[in-house]
Chains A and B, each alone.
Chain A
Amino acid sequence: KAGVTQTPRYLIKTRGQQVTLSCSPISGHRSVSWYQQTPGQGLQFLFEYFSETQRNKGNFPGRFSGRQFSNSRSEMNVSTLELGDSALYLCASSMDRDNYGYTFGSGTRLTVV
């Protein structure tokens, strides 16, 4: 079956702009989580959605937001981009709260210039 699909793979944006990243989970997976990966901070949890509801949120400013649709696809949005937002953004899906283990996508590489 298809894995977790993230689009686009690469993005270049300028400071102050906003960006939307998309994630399609594995079919049947209802939990979608987002992570930011940077060389300095490593992998950090952004938020998790389950059945269109945000269940968990990490310690990121309100400029970072997300949503989940009825088909479990998810988007995350970053507004008023800063240089420090340059990172690899990873999406992960799993079946439910029981932690069977996440399946990660290949990520979206965001560069803010």
Chain B
Amino acid sequence: AQRVTQPEKLLSVFKGAPVELKCNYSYSGSPELFWYVQYSRQRLQLLLRHISRESIKGFTADLNKGETSFHLKKPFAQEEDSAMYYCALSGGGNKLVFGAGTILRVKS
């Protein structure tokens, strides 16, 4: 079965502090992992995908197959990073399994 777990419903940090949004997955094969972000009153948008190994808006995520994790990190949080973040998995085919999401609040 495919499952994505985001253990924190809410993560609150101060501006300039490091951020780590946790994501663990369950999948027997080789998954594609994604992070999506939804800013207030905006549509869900792709933040990054593990296969690209890119950094978007200062965020990075490394796929750790041993720990089945794909945590999202940013060294210095900014107020505009406040949003809902979803980790998602694709086990093949265009079907995404989403985690429950984590609200990130960056306080000034």
Q: In the complex the two chains form, what is the Cα distance from A50 to B94 in whole Å?
A: 9
Q: Report the interface size class on chain B.
A: 20 to 34
A-side residues, CB < 8 A to B, are 3, 31, 33, 35, 42-45, 48, 50, 55-56, 58, 90, 92, 94, 97, 99, 101-107
Q: Are B96 and A102 in contact (CB under 8 A)?
A: yes
Contact surface of B with A, Cβ cutoff 8 Å: 32, 34, 36, 43-46, 49, 51, 86, 90, 93-101
Chain A contact residues, majority secondary structure: strand
Whether B43 contacts A55 by the Cβ 8 Å rule is: no
Residue ID in chain B nearest A57 by CB atoms: B95
What's the Cα separation between A58 and B43 when bound, in Å?
22
CA distance A55 to B90 in the complex (A): 14
